[in-house]
Amino acid sequence: MLERIRIVLIGTSHPGNIGGVARAMHNMGLADLALVAPRCEVITQDSISRASGADHLLHQASVHASLEEAVADCTLAVGASARSRTLPWPMLSPRELADRLPAECQAAESRVALVFGREDSGLTNAELQRCHAHVHIPTNADFSSLNLAAAVQVLAYECRMAWLSQSDGQADAPPTVPSDDDDLATHAELERYFEHLERTLIGIDFHDPDQPRQLMAKLRRLYLRARPERMEMNILRGILSATEKAANTKPPKP
């Protein structure tokens, strides 16, 4: 299970924090570190010293230009956020997230991404809207923002606790998730669908990109909540293609 969990850091600006994250991950048995557009060097004296012996995670970290690229193969992406945002999104506590992980990680091709934001400004709304759910570490409401490596530590600890209780209870482990879940759509497949959906909605004059009214964000929230399977995505894309075709063949409105 721990091998299927990826820690994704977006736009990190302090090498020491990346080192601290590597240490927190290795302490808890996580190894998959992905960096999206880091705003600092990754391998420095500071990051190596803060990693305290976990610097192999820094050397093997993958670096990506965008969040989409870093989570393309993931079947669940959860954004860690210190603040609540304008458009409410499914929220999990760290423990609720951890409770879901054993089932989420059961299928051979499943991958879970835990996404963390910039030290100065966190995650953007667009980045948060690319996640199935958000996780908030309960804190003092007047002082809610943890240091990046500390936030990773808390969630990595919850992942480890879930993994430990899963291995303890192996003898009477719950039945495996239905086989359909083996085929959840990946992040990249969902993104392709959202692009197609937006194009079609513009084409049929349902959506005006100059007056978006959060339509795409609301539709994203709906589809991400439903956790579609690959086969269901194919049906939905087929419907979009048929809609586009019908719209092009319909006579123009009088």
Residue 14 DSSP class: -
**Do the beta carbons of residue 19 and residue 50 sit within 8 Å?**
yes
Decide: is 102 part of the binding site for ligand SAH (CB under 6 A).
Answer: no
Binding mask 143-172 for ligand SAH (x = CB under 6 A): -xxx-x--x---------------------
| Cβ atoms within 10 Å, residue 246 | 10
Decide: is 122 part of the binding site for ligand SAH (CB under 6 A).
Answer: yes
**Token pair recorded at residue 230:** 């690959």
CA distance 74 to 85: 24
Residues in contact with ligand SAH, counted by CB under 6 A, come to a total of 20
**Do the beta carbons of residue 52 and residue 64 sit within 8 Å?**
no
Decide: is 137 part of the binding site for ligand SAH (CB under 6 A).
Answer: yes
Decide: is 123 part of the binding site for ligand SAH (CB under 6 A).
Answer: yes
Q: Which stretch binds ligand SAH (CB under 6 A): 28-36, 49-57, 135-143, 172-180?
A: 135-143
| CB of 178 vs ligand SAH, minimal distance in Å | 31
Q: For residue 220, which amino acid is it?
A: R
Decide: is 82 part of the binding site for ligand SAH (CB under 6 A).
Answer: yes
**Do the beta carbons of residue 70 and residue 113 sit within 8 Å?**
yes
Which residues are near ligand SAH by CB under 6 A? 80-83, 116-117, 119-123, 135-137, 139, 144-146, 148, 151
